[in-house]
Amino acid sequence: MSKKIDTIVLEEVVIKFSGDSGDGMQLTGTQFSNTSALIGQDVSTFPDYPAEIRAPQGTVGGVSGFQLNFGSKAIKTPGDFADVLVAMNPAALKANARWIKEGGTIIIDSDTFNKKNFKKAEFKSEKPFEELKLEDRNIIQAPISFLTKETLKGMGMTTKNVLRSKNMFTLGIIYWLFNEPLDLSINFFKKKFKKLPKVAKANEMALRAGFNYAGTVEALPRNYKVAPASIEKGFYRNVSGNVATAWGLIAGAERADLNLFIGSYPITPATEILQELTARKDLGVKAFQAEDEIAGICTAIGASFAGNLGVTTTSGPGLALKGEAIGLAVITELPLVIVNVQRGGPSTGLPTKTEQSDLMQALYGRNGESPAVVIAATTPSDCFYYAYEACRIAVEHMTPVILLTDGFLANGAEPWRIPKMDDLPKIKPPFAKIGEKYLPYKRELEKLNRKWAVPGTKGLEHRIGGLEKMEITGNVSYVPENHEVMSKQRAEKVKRVENFIPELKIYGDEDAHLLIVGWGGTYGHLLTALNEMRKDGKKVALAHFNYIFPLPKNTFDVLSKFKKIVIAELNLGQFANYLRMNFPSLEYLQYNKIQGLPFTVVELKENFNKILEAK
C-alpha cells in the first residue's frame, strides 16, 4: 500500500468537530488542539454546546461542536468558517451547514446517514447535501461506526462501549489529514484510563485505525501540513477564559497577601469560575455557594469588611440582582470584584450565547450616584490579567470593580505562556495603622481612598454602612452639603484610577483613514480584520479598550486624530453612546451585531471597507 501522497503546506486551518452530545466531540477537539499546541502551532478554540442539556439524541438541538483554528501564524480567533467539518450525524451537518467554507471538506460518518436520522434532524428529503446546498463541497463519506466496530471486534466489549471510541477513529483521520503526531493522545488515554487499561487500548486502536484508514483510502488524495508558529519561548498551557478569570482572582489575592473569598450563585456562562474556585481549597480560597446572587455579593461584601478580598461572579440577570449591593460597596468603600460574564439578554435571553449588552448595566445599573470601576478582558488568556487588575484596583483604591468578560471569552481557550507571579506587581492594601486614631472616611491624598481597618484589630473598632456618612469621621450624617461633598469624593476617587492605568494604544496605521474602535471580547476578530485589511493595502487602525470607566486619559487625543471612527460591538451601540456622551465633539459610526454570535472577520472587513469607500 505505497500510495503517493501530496502534502500541501497551509498557513492556517479551521476545523469543526460536531456530533451528538454523546459523541465526545469536546474531547476530540481538545485532543487535537492540545497536540497542535504542543508541536508549536498557534491555536484558538471555541466549544459550541447544545442549547438544550438533554435534547433528544440525533436532533439539531442536541448537536455539540468544537471549533478550532490553528496555524503557523499568530491565531487570534477560532475562525469564521470551517475548512473541515466533521459531522458525526445528519443533525450535525444541518446545524453547521452555513459555517463551511466554499471549497471546504466535510467528513461524515456515513453509517449514521440513514432514514431514521434524517427524520430526527428534520430533513425533508434523503439527500442532505442537496437539501443544504453543499453538493459542491469535498464530501468524504467514511463508514466510521462500522470500521470502529470492526477494529474493536474481539475486545469483548459491548457495542455501546465500542461505539464510544468512534470519535477517536475520527480523530485519527484528522490527525492523518494534517500530519499531526498520535503520541500525545495515546499518552492521554493511558493516563486517563489508568484503571481501565482495556478502554485505553480500545481508544488507541481506534485512533490508529482511523489514521491508517485515512492513509489508504482514495477519498483522501492528499494531506496537509501546518508549520509551527513563531511564538515566544517559554512554558505554555491551555487555558479557557473562565479558568483564567478564576486564577487571576487568586493571583490578585496572593499578590495582595489577602485571603480570597468568593460568594456566588451558579449561572451560565459564569458558573465555571465558581466551580474552579471551589476546587482551590489548596490555595485557601473560601468559596461560598450562596442561595442567590444577592447573598453572593452580600457575603463577599461581608468578607471584605472582615479583611478578605471579596469577589462575586455572575452573568447579566445576576448582575441585575446585585445592583443594590454594589451600591453598598460603593458607599462603604470596600474592595470588591464583581465578574460579569455577559450573555444574550434581556431576561433569560440567550443563556449560552455571547453578547456585550451589559455595558450600560455595569456602568449605571444602580440607584444614586454610584460610581464603580468597569474594565473588560479581551482574550481568554488575558482574563487572567484583567481579573488580577480588577483585584489591584479594588484593593488599592478601595472600590468595587466590575470586570466584564463574555460567553465567547469564557468558553474559548488558547495556549498561554505561563506567567511568573513575581512578574505581577505586588498589591498594597491600604490598611489602617494600629495605634493611630482611626477615622473611617479620612482619605489618602493621592488616590482619595479611605483606609481599611480589619475587625479583630485592637483599637480600630468602627462602624460603616449604607447610610451616608460624614466625611472623615464616618458618623451617620444627613447634612445636605456633606452629601454633596461625599458624592463628589466618591466620583473623584474612581476618576483618579485613570492615573494608575495604561494609556490607550493604537494598532495599525497612525495615519489611518479609518479608526476601528472596540472593547472587550471582540479584540481577536477586530485585530484579525485589521491585519487582513492592512495586508490588502488599506490604511486602518484599531483602538481597543480594556479600561471603560474611567477611560484612559489619552482617549480623546487618540480618537480625535482620525477622520472616521467606527465602533464595532455586539450590542446596539452602548459603547458608541458612552463615547458620544464623553466626547460629543466627535462623530462616530457604528457596526453592531446582536445574534448571540461573535463577529466574523469576513463581515467586519466587508463593512469597514464599505465605510472606507463611502465619501
Partner 1 sequence: MKKANVKNYKSDQEVRWCAGCGDFAVLNAVYKAMAEMNIPTEDIAVVSGIGCSSRFPYYMGTYGFHGIHGRASAISSGVKVANPKLSVWQITGDGDALAIGGNHFIHVIRRNIDMNLILFNNQIYGLTKGQYSPTSKMGAKTKSSPFGTVEQPFNPGELVIGARGKFFARVVDANIKMCTEIFKEAEKHKGLSAVEVLQNCVIFNEGIYNFINDKKEKSDRQIFLKDNQAMIFGKNKDKGLMMDGFKLKVVEIGKNGITEDDILIHDAQENDTVLHNALINMHPPEFPIAMGVIRAVKEQHYDDLVEKQIKEVQEKTSIRNMDDLLNSGSVWEVK
Contacts with partner 1, residue ranges (CB under 8 A): 34, 37-38, 40, 231-238, 247, 250-251, 254, 259, 261, 263, 280-284, 286, 288, 290-292, 294-295, 298-308, 310, 324-325, 327-328, 332, 418-421, 454-467, 475-476
Query: Least distance (Å) from partner 1 to the CB of residue 394?
Result: 15
Query: Least distance (Å) from partner 1 to the CB of residue 410?
Result: 19
Contact 220, 138 (CB under 8 A): no
Query: Least distance (Å) from partner 1 to the CB of residue 35?
Result: 10
Q: Which is nearer to partner 1, 221 or 466 (CB)?
A: 466
Contact 301, 325 (CB under 8 A): yes
Query: Least distance (Å) from partner 1 to the CB of residue 284?
Result: 6
DSSP 21-87: GGG-HHHHHHHHHHHHHHTT-EEEEEEE--SSTTPPTTSGGGEEEEEEEEESS---SS-SSEEEEEE
Q: Which is nearer to partner 1, 289 or 609 (CB)?
A: 289
Question: Cα dist. 450→436, 444, 492 in Å?
Answer: 14, 6, 13
Question: Cα dist. 188→184, 185, 201, 479, 520 in Å?
Answer: 6, 5, 11, 67, 34
Q: Which is nearer to partner 1, 30 or 167 (CB)?
A: 30
Query: Least distance (Å) from partner 1 to the CB of residue 309?
Result: 9
Answer positive or negative: Cα dihedral of 342, 344, 345, 347. negative
Q: How far is CA 453 from the centre of its chain?
A: 36
Question: Cα dist. 537→319, 467, 508, 531, 564 in Å?
Answer: 43, 59, 12, 10, 17
Query: Least distance (Å) from partner 1 to the CB of residue 464?
Result: 6
| Cα distance between residue 63 and residue 25, in whole Å | 10
Q: Which is nearer to partner 1, 233 or 535 (CB)?
A: 233
The residues, any chain, with a CB within 8 Å of residue 102's CB and separated by 6 or more, are 136
User: Roughly how many angstroms between the first and final C-alpha of the chain, as a whole number?
Assistant: 62
Q: Which is nearer to partner 1, 267 or 558 (CB)?
A: 267
Query: Least distance (Å) from partner 1 to the CB of residue 368?
Result: 12
Q: Which is nearer to partner 1, 322 or 443 (CB)?
A: 322
Residue 290 amino acid letter: A
Q: Which is nearer to partner 1, 62 or 248 (CB)?
A: 248
Q: Which is nearer to partner 1, 81 or 188 (CB)?
A: 188
Q: Which residues of 28-38 are buried (b: 16+ CB within 10 A; e: fewer)?
A: bbbbbbbbbbb
Query: Least distance (Å) from partner 1 to the CB of residue 25?
Result: 19
